[in-house]
Amino acid sequence: MIPLCIPYIDEQELNAVKEVLDSGWLAHGPKTKEFEANFAKYIGVKKAIAVNSCTSALQLAIMALGLKGEVIIPSFTFMATANAVVNAGCTPVFCDIDYNTCNINPDEIRKLVTKDTAAVIPVHIYGQACKMDEIMEIANKHSLAVIEDSAQTIGGTFGGKKTGSFGIGCFSFYPTKNMTTGEGGMITTNDEELAVKMEVLKAHGTRSSAYEREKQERPWIRVAENAGFNFRMCDINSAIGIVQLQKLDKMNEMRRKNSQYLTKNLSSVPWLDVPFESRNCTHVYQTYTIRTKNANRNKVAAHLKSQGIGASVHYDPPVHLQSFYLNSKRGDMAVTERVANSIISLPMYPHISQGDLDHMIKIISSIAV
Helix, strand, coil proportions of the chain in percent (round to 5)? 40, 15, 45
pLDDT of residue 213: 47
Beta sheet of 185-189, edge-to-edge order: 47-51, 185-189, 168-172, 145-149, 117-120, 70-74, 91-95
Sketch out the chain's domains with CATH numbers.
11-247 (3.40.640.10), 249-366 (3.90.1150.10)
Other residues' Cβ atoms within 10 Å of the Cβ of residue 172: 28
218 contacts: CB under 8 Å, gap ≥ 6: none
pLDDT of residue 369: 83
255 contacts: CB under 8 Å, gap ≥ 6: 127, 178, 284, 285, 286, 348, 349, 350
Going residue by residue through the chain, which has 369 residues, state the pLDDT in tens, using 9 for 90 and above.
999 999 999 999 999 999 999 999 898 899 999 999 999 999 999 999 999 999 999 999 999 999 999 999 999 999 999 999 999 999 999 999 999 999 999 999 999 999 999 999 999 999 999 999 999 999 999 999 999 999 999 999 999 999 999 999 999 999 999 999 999 999 999 999 999 999 999 988 886 655 454 565 555 556 667 788 999 999 999 999 999 999 999 999 999 999 999 999 999 999 999 999 999 999 999 999 999 998 999 999 999 999 999 999 999 999 999 999 999 999 999 999 999 999 999 999 999 999 999 999 999 999 998
pLDDT of residue 228: 86
Measured distance between the N- and C-terminal CA atoms of the chain, rounded to whole angstroms:
24
